[in-house]
Amino acid sequence: MSDPTQFPVNPATATEEELETFRRQWRAEVSARASHTQPSSGATQRTAHATSSRPHPSQRNKVPLPADRPKDAHTEDDAEPHTYHDLGEKQFGRKLADPAPESSNAPVSALDHYEEAVKSETQGKLGDSVNLYRKAFKLDATVQDIYKKKHFPAASFPKQKPANANPSNAPATVPSTAHHSLAGFSSNITDLVSSFASLSILGEEPPTDLSPPPPCPIAELPEELLADILMYVAVDDVAEFARLSQVCKRMAYLVMTEDRYIFRMALALNNAGKGARNNKLAWKGYWSYNRLTDDWGEFGLKNDKPYYWSRVKSWA
């Protein structure tokens, strides 16, 4: 017959048996304490009655014993921080490393977007500036002109005083006429050209509605540099200088009213001789007047050959 101890014992059954044994021992101890305290209660009463008849010593000089302080059950809980397992780390307030809160003054109008785009471009944020430029031009196609009128008004630039129209050191071969280009024109042409004064040079239109306009560097040039460029064009080729007025209204105004450099040409019709078929139209002089230095200078022509009258009669 096999030994019963060889069979495995269920751990749950062994635990229940140990608990039952502990309960029986605890009940026996409680019963023993109760039976011991009942007979000793009478002796305690007699001892208390005997001691009450004796004079009690003065307790004035008796040092009170410190009472046992009850253990604060919440001390450990208060010392340990609260943890939120589902919400993660909970923080209150702001830290120094936190980024600044976003400003509530977000750009609304086209001018606001354009100003923010200019600011981003100066800070080197080219991607943000391009997006802001696109939004600005979507809202208003003329936002660039509005920006110029707000930050660069025409009244802030001082106007130059006109110089003497008839300098004293001008050569006798040059007629002493007014230097302003509009002098001698009819009032209609004068008023028309004067209306172009407030206009600016416009670049090409954008290829699509969603794309920005192509760059136009000459439109961004200051007035002083543009006038110098026109002067060099006029010195190199007067015909090209005159054709610049056909480019746009602003160029027409500058070409017809620019009086910094004035060019005078004198022509003479020379007789080519008895056997010549046509007479010759020769240059008699070519001068330029600088209003800044009040000087006249004579220029030499690239082609000093005389022109035949038949070739230039269409310009008469």
CB 258 within 8 A of CB 230: yes
Query: CA-CA distance, 197 to 249, in Å (whole number)?
Result: 9
Give 265-314 pLDDT, tens digit per residue.
444 445 555 555 554 544 455 555 555 566 666 555 555 444 443 444 33
The 3-state DSSP class for residue 246 equals helix
Query: CA-CA distance, 2 to 98, in Å (whole number)?
Result: 77
What is the separation, in whole angstroms, between the first and last Cα of the chain? 148
Give 215-225 pLDDT, tens digit per residue.
888 888 887 78
Say what the pLDDT of residue 114 is: 92
Give 24-72 pLDDT, tens digit per residue.
999 999 988 888 766 555 555 555 555 555 555 555 555 555 555 555 5
The string of DSSP codes covering 248-288 is: -HHHHHHHHH--SEEEEEEEEEE---TT-SS-EEEEEEEEE
**Radius of gyration of the chain measured on its C-alpha atoms:** 54
Residue 280 sits at φ, ψ, to 5 deg, of: -105, 140
Query: CA-CA distance, 211 to 205, in Å (whole number)?
Result: 10
Mean per-residue pLDDT of the chain: 67
- For residue 199, give the nearest of 219, 182, 215 by alpha carbon: 219
The string of DSSP codes covering 164-196 is: -SS-TT--TTS------TTTTS-HHHHHHHHTT
The pairing of strands 280-290 and 295-298 is antiparallel
What secondary structure letter does DSSP report for 132? H
Q: Where are the domains of the chain?
A: 108-157, 180-203+214-258, 261-316
